[in-house]
Amino acid sequence: MNATLFYIKTMLLQPWDAAKTYSIRKARADAMAGLTVAVVAVPQSMAYALIAGVAPVYGLYTVIIQCLIGSLFNSNKYLSVGPINTQSLLVASIVSRLVEPGDTALYLQLVVALTVMKGVFQMMLAAARLGNIVRYVSQSVILGFTAGAGVLIAAGQLNNLMGFSVTRSVDDLPGLIGIVQRLTPHTHEVDTMALLVGLGALVVVIVCRCISRMAPGPLLAVGFAAVAAYLLGWSGDDQRIIGTLPTDLGELLVLPKFDSYQQFESLISGAMALSLLGLMEAYSIGKSLAAKTGQRISANQELLSQGFTNFLSAFFHCIPGSGSFSRSALNHYAGAKTLYAGVFNSLFVAIIFLLFAGPAGYIPKASLAAVLFVIAYGLVDWREFLRICRSNRADAVVFGATFFSTLCLPLAYAVFVGVGLNIALYMRRASKLHVAEMVRTPGGPFLEKPIRSRTGDQAVVFLQFEGDLFFGVGDELSERLNDLVNRPVRVVVMRLKRTLSVDSTVLAVLDHFAREMRERDKHVVLCGMREDLTKCFDQYGLSDVIGEENIFPTTFGVFTSAKQALRRAQQLLKHSLDARDLPDDLEDDQGWAYQI
């Protein structure tokens, strides 16, 4: 709870801390960066609204409100919040399966409700300090999902590029197959003029991108396309343009609601997927920018900020949003100095919206599709995929599985498939028992060697454990220790200095092993015991079973604790074996090796 209050306090004080050192110079730089991002955000947000399946105006609402709120409270001052491609695609995948075609009111209602649920989930995860879960999601999952999303976005905009409409159905198959299923019956309806307008817009975007990163290619493309549509006489209810954008702000404030518990239940998994995906994307963007700026990124604060932003923005008819990599990078590149660059961005988008809402109604959907084609192309990073394939086969499997799940399954499931497979592979690696044979060379240092078939044939066995000793290694550890019980070994020395943690499953295995050894008049000696491990063993009662005199804490000297443990092993052996079989001085030993 104290940590959560700390993040809340930090989040709320950020605007005040930035304002205390604000200046005209910083304001000028922030305003220029905000204007630069705004000219990109306007066409992008309208296009992302189309991906989500709602009218373009809701994309503008989202970038205005979420950028304003999010910029003030994000842990990354350059992060630009609002509608993004992957979140919008996931929203459409979730809601379209719950609403009959044509029921736009219910569709919008569920989208807004999904925004609320995502915000609540993210705030709950932040309160539980689960933001660091993002560390266990590899880059392969993000790359696989975004690459699949890029393919789906491009395929899903083919109908807008070619000038005809398609209707989603709750019975449609998911992913790429469903898109093909919807497009096939309409291939004869291609509108040549709409296709030409869309291709022209595509050329404008590509040329501007080649000229400069700062060139407002998307804005110029949709602007020229709107002029072309006006000259061609497209207006009114023409399906090839986005139509009139409402500017009556009195209708903006809404109360998100569900009509039934079934609707709420159906959106739960989708809201969780949106929460996880939003955190992964925002944290990845933050780390990428932090490498250039040196700014520290807090995953939990980012999660709390996103949750608060989505929850509050839902009351303004906003769709689920997150951090945008392209807009955030542009914000930094354009010279933003503080978090108030995002506030300027929000204000400029609102001004553009209010001033040009009428002419914006002429924007052809084909031009927005062209903008999305370029964005979709940037999502598919084949070079990185090839690097992953060459360097790590497991990561390549995760990428491939996530990519094909994105293309073939409902997107909410695809997110969980990638994350689940990622965790499964991690658990597989982590569940390997790392134990080595420690051999002391005559008059020399200890050497680590792999376990051999003759393990336990000597009087003393010296084991060194590494990594996490948790339930995943319990069975293998039990088998190895049970094998030692039945061998001639008299004393087993365990060095635990390199272990990270020990859970109750492993403690139970060690307890059983120590009791078995004691019943056979054999002994267990522990060395390299850190303070936290010693406390854990004491609380479990294992220290009493092994004996306090057989436990040696870690010290500053190299292998000092291990040498103390081996001397103790010598003392124990002298009580049960003929002393003639043992060296008189371990330090001067020239022939006896302590082995597993």
Find the domain containing 186 and state its range.
Answer: 26-245+252-427
Instruction: Decide if pLDDT at 139 tops 70.
Output: yes
The predicted-structure confidence for 141-162, as pLDDT tens digits, reads as follows 888 888 888 888 888 888 888 8
For the ranges 53-62, 145-154, 173-182, 463-472, the maximum mean pLDDT occurs at 53-62
pLDDT greater at residue 181 or residue 133: 181
**Amino acid at position 548, single letter:** E
Compute the average pLDDT of residues 492-506. 88
Q: Indicate if 335 and 458 belong to the same structural domain.
A: no
14 occurs within a structural domain: no
Compute the average pLDDT of residues 191-198. 91
Q: Indicate if 299 and 167 belong to the same structural domain.
A: yes
Q: Indicate if 407 and 466 belong to the same structural domain.
A: no
Domain final residue, candidates 427, 457, 486: 427
Number of domains present in the structure of the chain: 2
DSSP state of 243: -
Compute the average pLDDT of residues 357-373. 87
21 occurs within a structural domain: no
Q: Scanning the structure block, which residue is given the tokens 């879960």?
A: 133
Q: Scanning the structure block, which residue is given the tokens 């005199």?
A: 549
Task: Return d(Cα 80, Cα 333) in angstroms, integer.
Answer: 12
Q: Indicate if 371 and 293 belong to the same structural domain.
A: yes
Q: Indicate if 398 and 456 belong to the same structural domain.
A: no
The predicted-structure confidence for 505-555, as pLDDT tens digits, reads as follows 999 999 999 999 999 999 999 999 998 899 999 999 999 999 999 999 988
Task: Return d(Cα 244, Cα 235) in angstroms, integer.
Answer: 9
Q: What is the pLDDT of residue 253?
A: 64
Pairing of strands 491-502, 523-529: parallel
Model confidence, pTM: 0.71
Compute the average pLDDT of residues 163-181. 78
Task: Return d(Cα 253, Cα 276) in angstroms, integer.
Answer: 27
The residue among 356, 152, 140 whose CA lies nearest residue 247 is 356
**269 three-state secondary structure:** helix
161 occurs within a structural domain: yes
The predicted-structure confidence for 76-95, as pLDDT tens digits, reads as follows 788 888 998 888 988 988 88
541: left (phi over 0), alpha (psi -120 to 50) or beta: left
12 occurs within a structural domain: no
**109 three-state secondary structure:** helix
The predicted-structure confidence for 390-445, as pLDDT tens digits, reads as follows 877 788 888 888 889 888 887 778 877 887 887 787 777 777 788 887 776 665 56
111 occurs within a structural domain: yes
Q: What percentage of residues in the chain have a pLDDT greater than 90?
A: 19
Q: What is the pLDDT of residue 111?
A: 92
DSSP state of 9: H
The residue among 271, 282, 270 whose CA lies nearest residue 413 is 270
Q: Indicate if 299 and 195 belong to the same structural domain.
A: yes
Q: Indicate if 440 and 370 belong to the same structural domain.
A: no
The predicted-structure confidence for 470-486, as pLDDT tens digits, reads as follows 888 888 889 888 888 88
Q: What is the pLDDT of residue 422?
A: 77
Q: What is the pLDDT of residue 136?
A: 67
Q: What is the pLDDT of residue 582?
A: 44
Compute the average pLDDT of residues 313-342. 86
CATH code of 454's domain: 3.30.750.24
Helix axes 139-156, 411-430, angle to 10 degrees: 160
Alpha carbon dihedral 285, 417, 134, 431, in 10-degree steps, equals -140
Q: What is the pLDDT of residue 584?
A: 43
Query: CA geometry: angle at 93 spanning 201 and 405, to 5°?
Result: 95
Query: CA geometry: angle at 164 spanning 162 and 170, to 5°?
Result: 120
The predicted-structure confidence for 557-571, as pLDDT tens digits, reads as follows 777 888 889 889 988
Task: Return d(Cα 335, Cα 111) in angstroms, integer.
Answer: 34
Q: Please, which residues bridge with residue 465 across strands? A: 435
The predicted-structure confidence for 281-323, as pLDDT tens digits, reads as follows 777 776 666 656 666 667 777 888 889 999 999 988 899 998 8
CB-based contacts of 536-541 (< 8 A; 24+ apart in sequence): 536/502, 536/507, 537/507, 540/504, 540/507, 540/511, 541/511
**545 three-state secondary structure:** helix
313 occurs within a structural domain: yes
Q: Indicate if 484 and 394 belong to the same structural domain.
A: no
Task: Return d(Cα 238, Cα 364) in angstroms, integer.
Answer: 10
Q: What percentage of residues in the chain have a pLDDT greater than 70?
A: 86
Residue burial 137-149, b: 16+ Cβ < 10 Å; e: rest: bbebbbbbbbbbb
- Helix, strand, coil in percent for the chain, rounding step 5: 65, 10, 25
pLDDT greater at residue 458 or residue 29: 29
Q: 197 with 369: CB under 8 angstroms?
A: no
Q: What is the pLDDT of residue 454?
A: 62
Domain final residue, candidates 374, 406, 427: 427
Q: Indicate if 423 and 439 belong to the same structural domain.
A: no
520 occurs within a structural domain: yes
Q: What is the pLDDT of residue 152?
A: 87
Residue 584 tokens read as 């008189």
Domain final residue, candidates 427, 459, 479: 427
Instruction: Decide if pLDDT at 267 tops 90.
Output: no
**246 three-state secondary structure:** coil
**Torsion sign over Cα 502, 507, 508, 514:** positive
Q: Indicate if 336 and 377 belong to the same structural domain.
A: yes
Q: What is the pLDDT of residue 173?
A: 76
Q: 321 with 67: CB under 8 angstroms?
A: no
Task: Return d(Cα 343, Cα 253) in angstroms, integer.
Answer: 20
Q: Indicate if 517 and 396 belong to the same structural domain.
A: no
Q: What is the pLDDT of residue 293?
A: 62
Q: 228 with 344: CB under 8 angstroms?
A: no
Q: Indicate if 231 and 374 belong to the same structural domain.
A: yes
331 occurs within a structural domain: yes
